[in-house]
C-alpha cells in the first residue's frame, strides 16, 4: 500500500488523562466571500514616486490583490488538512499543532517553531522530507516525527485568552505538549520566534532535548568590545545588512511591541492592510538576490500564509508577542546547538558561541529568513546533518 503523504495514519500517542482533540481547518464559505468583497472595494492610497524605500508600492500591491481574488483557499486548506492536526489546552490556552508521524520506527521527534509573520503553513515543504526521507531521496535513518505548534495568538491557537504569553511561557507550553505526546527525548528547531523559543526549550528541559537547531534570527549581533574588529568580508556584509535593517526596517517592531492593539484595527478591518504589512517583511527578509517576494517564495504559498492571519483575525494577538517579549535578551541553552545561516541572517559565530554550545555551523548563499519556504532542501539537509550524531546519545 502506498504511504500517506505525511506519515502513517496511526493513532496519536498520548499519556493517560491528556485531552488531545483532532482538528481540521474549515473556513466558512461566508468568510471567503467577505474577503473577496473587501478586496473588490479597497480604497487605494495616494503615493509619492519611488519604489520600496517608502514601503509597499501601490502598483505592485494591486497585482498581488488581483491574484488573491483568484487564489483558491480550499486547495491550501486541503494541503494543510493532509497533515494530522490537533488542539489541546495548556496553561489556560488552546494550542493547535500539526503532528506528522514518520513511518520509520527509529524516527526522532522534532519540535518546529515558526515566527511572525509566519505560520505552520511555512513547514508544508519540509514535513514530507523530514518524516519520510527515503521517499524524497534521503536516508531512512534521518527520519523525524514532526510536531509543529501554532504559537499562541497565531493561526489556530486562538483566542489568546490572557496576557503574559512571552517566549518563556511558550517554551514551557511546548515542553508540556511534548510530554503529553509521550515524547521524553526530542530535538527542537526554529526560526524567527523559534530561534528564541527553541533554545529556551533546551534550557528548561536539558534532560529531554538532544539538540537545538536554529535559523532566521533577526537580532542585531550582541557584540562586545572588539567583536566587530577585523571581521571577515562575509561578516562585514552581515553587519552592513544588520545596520541597514536597524536604521530602516524596525518600525513594525516598534509598533507591535508598544501599541499592538492600535495597529491591529487597520489590519483586522482591511485584508489589503494585512497583506501589505506581511508582504513588506517578505520583501525585506527574503533572499536579497530575489527582487520581489514571489521570486523567493511561491506567491500562492505566501497568500496561504496571509489568508491564515486574515481568517483567524490574529493581527492583534500575533503582535502581542512583541509586546510581551520586548527587551528580552538572547536565549541560549547548554545543549548541542546547530545554526544554519542564510542570506539576511546577521548571525556571527564568534558572537553566538559565547551563549550557545555550538556543535554545528553552516552558511548558505541561497535562501533567506524564511528558509523553510525559500530553500527547504538546504534547511532539511542541514537539520539532518546536525542531528545525525545526536540521535543515539
Half-sphere exposure of residue 87, counting CA atoms within 13 Å on the CB side? 15
> Of 86, 252, 322, 364, which residue is the catalytic one?
322
3-state secondary structure of 88: strand
Helix H or strand E segment including 147: strand 144-149
* Grid cell at residue 110: 522534532
Q: State yes or no: is 192 an active-site residue.
A: yes
Question: Pick the catalytic residue: 192, 284, 287, 382?
Answer: 192
Strands 108-113 and 21-22, bridge-based pairing: unpaired
For 216, the grid coordinates are: 532566521
Alpha helices in the chain (DSSP H): 29-40, 58-70, 73-81, 124-131, 167-180, 193-204, 233-248, 251-258, 260-269, 271-285, 293-296, 299-312, 315-325, 349-352, 371-374, 376-388
Q: Taking the CB of residue 139, how many other CB atoms lie within 10 A of it?
A: 11
Active site residue 322: yes
Contacts with 278 (C-beta within 8 Å, 6 or more apart), sequence order: 117, 305, 306, 309
Q: What is the largest CA-CA distance in the chain?
A: 63
Residue tagged active-site, from 145, 283, 356, 369: 369
The secondary structure of 89-140 as a DSSP string is EETTEEEEEEEE--S-TTPEEEEEE--TT--GGGGHHHHHHHH-GGGGTS-G
Pick from 248, 246, 252, 150: nearest CA to 193: 150
Whether 377 is catalytic: no
Please list the active-site residues: 192, 322, 369
Amino acid at each position: 500500500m502506498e504511504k500517506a503523504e505525511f506519515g502513517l495514519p496511526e493513532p496519536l500517542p498520548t499519556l493517560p488523562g491528556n485531552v488531545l482533540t483532532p482538528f481540521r481547518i474549515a473556513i466558512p464559505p461566508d468568510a471567503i466571500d467577505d474577503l473577496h468583497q473587501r478586496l473588490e472595494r479597497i480604497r487605494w492610497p495616494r503615493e509619492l514616486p519611488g519604489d520600496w524605500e517608502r514601503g509597499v508600492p501601490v502598483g505592485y500591491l494591486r497585482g498581488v490583490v488581483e491574484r488573491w481574488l483568484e487564489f483558491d483557499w480550499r486547495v491550501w486548506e486541503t494541503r494543510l488538512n493532509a497533515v494530522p492536526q490537533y488542539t489541546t489546552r495548556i496553561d489556560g490556552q488552546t494550542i493547535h499543532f500539526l503532528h506528522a508521524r514518520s513511518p520509520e520506527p527509529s524516527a526522532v521527534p522534532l519540535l518546529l517553531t515558526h515566527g511572525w509573520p509566519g505560520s505552520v503553513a511555512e513547514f508544508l515543504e519540509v514535513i514530507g522530507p523530514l518524516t519520510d526521507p527515503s521517499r524524497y531521496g534521503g536516508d531512512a535513518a534521518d527520519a523525524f516525527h514532526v510536531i509543529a505548534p501554532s504559537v499562541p495568538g497565531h493561526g489556530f491557537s486562538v483566542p489568546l485568552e490572557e496576557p503574559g504569553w512571552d517566549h518563556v511561557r511558550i517554551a514551557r507550553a511546548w515542553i508540556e505538549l511534548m510530554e503529553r505526546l509521550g515524547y521524553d527525548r526530542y530535538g527542537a528547531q526554529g526560526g524567527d520566534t523559534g530561534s528564541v523559543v527553541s533554545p529556551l526549550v533546551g534550557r528548561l528541559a536539558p534532560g529531554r532535548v538532544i539538540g537545538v537547531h536554529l535559523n532566521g534570527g533577526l537580532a542585531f549581533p550582541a557584540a562586545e568590545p572588539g567583536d566587530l574588529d577585523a571581521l571577515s568580508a562575509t561578516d562585514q556584509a552581515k553587519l552592513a545588512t544588520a545596520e541597514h535593517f536597524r536604521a530602516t526596517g524596525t518600525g513594525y517592531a516598534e509598533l507591535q511591541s508598544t501599541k499592538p492593539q492600535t495597529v491591529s484595527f487597520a489590519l483586522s478591518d482591511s485584508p489589503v492592510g494585512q497583506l501589505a504589512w506581511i508582504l513588506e517583511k517578505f520583501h525585506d527578509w527574503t533572499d536579497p538576490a530575489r527582487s520581489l517576494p514571489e521570486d523567493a517564495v511561491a506567491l500562492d504559498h505566501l497568500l496561504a500564509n496571509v489568508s491564515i492571519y486574515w481568517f483567524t483575525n490574529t493581527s492583534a494577538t500575533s503582535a502581542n508577542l512583541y509586546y510581551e517579549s520586548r527587551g528580552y535578551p538572547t536565549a541560549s541553552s547548554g545543549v548541542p546547538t546547530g545554526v544554519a545561516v542564510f542570506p539576511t541572517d546577521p548571525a556571527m559565530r564568534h558572537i553566538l558561541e559565547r551563549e550557545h554550545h555550538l556543535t554545528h555551523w553552516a552558511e548558505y548563499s541561497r535562501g533567506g529568513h524564511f528558509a523553510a519556504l525559500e530553500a527547504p532542501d538546504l534547511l532539511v539537509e542541514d537539520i539532518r546533518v546536525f542531528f545525525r550524531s545526536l540521535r543515539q546519545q
